[in-house]
Amino acid sequence: MTLTRAMVLAAGRGERMRPLTETTPKPMIAVHGVPMIDRILARLAAAEIEKAVVNLHHLGAKLRDHLSHFSEPPLVFSEETELLETGGGVKKALPELGDAPFFVCNGDVVWLDGYQPTLERLRRHWDPERMDALLLLQPSPVAIGYDGPGDFVMDPQGRLRRRREREIAPFTFAGVQVLKPELFADTPDGPFSLNLIYDRVIERERLHGLRHDGAWYHVGRPEDLERAELELRLELGGGHEERMAAQE
C-alpha cells in the first residue's frame, strides 16, 4: 500500500471563526454534532494510515487532551512554539512523516465521500512519475459556503495553474493533498506557506489535481458553520419540507 502516513494541520488560531476559537481550537468545532478533526481522523483510520502527525499551537493542550482517546490511526504530536504556517508546520514534522509521499489534511475541512472514499481515490490517482503534489479540488460552483473566485484551472491531463488576475477559476482547493517530502528542500527555516511549494511545482508542470466527487463545505466563519450545519442535516437525513424551506 502507498501513502501510509498523514499530517493534520491543526495549529492555527482560527481568527475568522472568533469568538468560537477564543476557547475552542478550530478543528474541535463540531459540525452536525461531530468535531471536524474527529471526522478527518476517522477517514484516515478507514484508509489504514499507519501514523498521523497533528501539529499543535493555539490551545494545543486542549486539542491534545481531546485527541487522547484516539488509537486509530496512531497519533504523534508536533508542538510549535511559534506558528509556522502550513509549509513550516509540515517541514517541522518531516522526521515523523518519513521519506515517502504522504497525505496532508487541513484540520478544519468537512467533506462527504462520493462513490469511493476520497482518500482512496487520491491514493489510486497518485502517480509519482508524473506528479510532485496532488491536490483535491472542489468545483467552485458547488463548494457549499464558498463564494470566492476559485483557486486553480486544470488542463485535460490534470495539471494545475493558478487563477489569473480577474479570472474566475473553476476549482477551489479542498484542503486535502499528497506531497513528496523532497519538496521541502531549499525552503525557509521557520514560517512559510505551502503556496511557495505549489508555485515551484507549477513551474515544473508537476502540480496535479483530482476533482472531488462528493459534497464539500467551507467552514471559515461562524456564518459558514451555520450553513454547513444546515446542508449536512439535509444531506444526512433532512426531510422534504426542510429541503423546500432551505431553497426559499
Domains contained in the chain, number: 1
Three-class SS state of 199 = helix
Q: How confident is the model at residue 240 (pLDDT cuts 50, 70, 90)?
A: very low
What amino acid occupies position 93?
Answer: A
Tell me whether residue 182 is in a domain: yes
Residue 234 lies in a domain: no
237 pLDDT band (50/70/90 cuts)? low
Residue 244, domain member (yes or no): no
- Per the CB < 8 A criterion, the answer to whether 123 and 2 are in contact is yes
Q: Is 121 contained in some domain?
A: yes
The CATH number of whichever domain residue 130 belongs to comes to 3.90.550.10
- Arithmetic mean of pLDDT, 216-223: 86
Q: How far is CA 169 from CA 27, 136, 144, 151, 163, in A?
A: 27, 15, 16, 6, 6
Residue 236 falls inside a structural domain? no
* All three cell numbers of 19: 469568538
Peptide bond into 19 cis (omega under 30): yes
> CA Rg, the chain, in Å?
18
Residue type, 14: G
Residue 206 lies in a domain: yes
185 falls within a domain: yes
DSSP state of 169: P
CA–chain centroid gap for 65, Å, is 22
Q: How far apart are CA 136 and CA 139, in angstroms?
A: 10
- Residue 231 maps to a domain: no
Domain that holds residue 37: 5-222
For the stretch 51-81, pLDDT in tens is 999 999 988 899 999 999 888 899 999 999 9
pLDDT in tens, 136-182: 999 998 888 888 899 999 999 999 999 998 889 999 999 999 999 99
